[in-house]
Structure 1
């Protein structure tokens, strides 16, 4: 890696060090990129065994009862298999702002029935990537039910203003979604 803090390097095939060679990138490194990395964890008790809680993610009919984008004209696709994913679009309208086109696209990386789900997703607003995340959902048996643990590592690539509201917004939306999941299982 280069000592120049203004440049980043990526590895390219073809060097003596295991077939990889550093290649300079024209993009500067560091905080001036206007991105923010965050991690959050939400734990939720679900009064259903782990296999039932897992079904809320795996079964399309149940998933559609709790997974929703805000707005109207929504469309959804759900393909719960490793290497595949979900997609959703909608148009969000607020009384004091112009309408926004929302798009969600995910890809499942690891699925262990009734134990865990690992996936990535992108959130796009008006054709601009706002954030991308790696999410891990764990299902642990607990007191006649399931302790669900949602861990999300997110990079906000397009901040809203100074970015101070982005993480609370995402965390709050995730909590609302999990509340919807609880209702879907009742």
Structure 2
């Protein structure tokens, strides 16, 4: 696109998982677990994944459909409270072109024997390449994949 624009939006997605907060948090913190569920649709290929889960640490994920385009997620962790909260800023690129910059907060709250996860994202969607509705849909799909990971993995994983 030749015109420069920005659309600002905030959305909140909540889920309740049948696992304690420490276990749901661990699925975000453990590189092997996160690589399984934070990967896009099944038919996508992932070409790179790195997770340095600490305040100041970086996460990098690149992949997409075989025929393209290449999606790149690059995040920096700003706040981590084990079992309670994660705050990170990230940018998304599509074939190398920055399409958005976001701040995300993930909160883990005990609910019965499970966990209420609340993800709040504040995004700047750039030049018409991405939009808030698509990002929220993708976030919901990733949280579905997290649920499948929690169901698949043994409780002590």
1:147 aligns with 2:116: yes
Gap runs ≥5 in structure 1: 1-31
Write the distance in 1 (CA, Å) between the matches of 2:33 and 2:119: 18
Residue 144 of structure 2 corresponds to 179
**How far did 1:65 drift?**
1.5
Residue 135 of structure 2 corresponds to 170
Write the distance in 2 (CA, Å) between the matches of 1:36 and 1:157: 7
Asked whether the equivalents of residues 46 and 61 of structure 2 are also in contact (C-alpha less than 8 Å), the reply is no
Asked whether the equivalents of residues 129 and 158 of structure 1 are also in contact (C-alpha less than 8 Å), the reply is no
1:72 aligns with 2:37: no
Q: Matches of residues 23-172 of structure 1 in structure 2 within 5 Å?
A: 33-70=4-41, 71-93=44-66, 99-160=68-129, 166-172=131-137
* Comparing 131-140 and 68-77, the one that deviates more: 68-77
Write the distance in 1 (CA, Å) between the matches of 2:57 and 2:9: 25
Write the distance in 2 (CA, Å) between the matches of 1:135 and 1:83: 15
Asked whether the equivalents of residues 84 and 107 of structure 2 are also in contact (C-alpha less than 8 Å), the reply is yes
TM-score (ref. length: structure 1): 0.74
Write the distance in 2 (CA, Å) between the matches of 1:90 and 1:176: 16
Higher RCO, 1 vs 2 (CA within 8 Å, ≥6 residues apart): 2
Gap runs ≥5 in structure 2: 152-157
Point out the structure with max Rg over C-alpha. Answer: 1
The number of equivalent residue pairs is 147
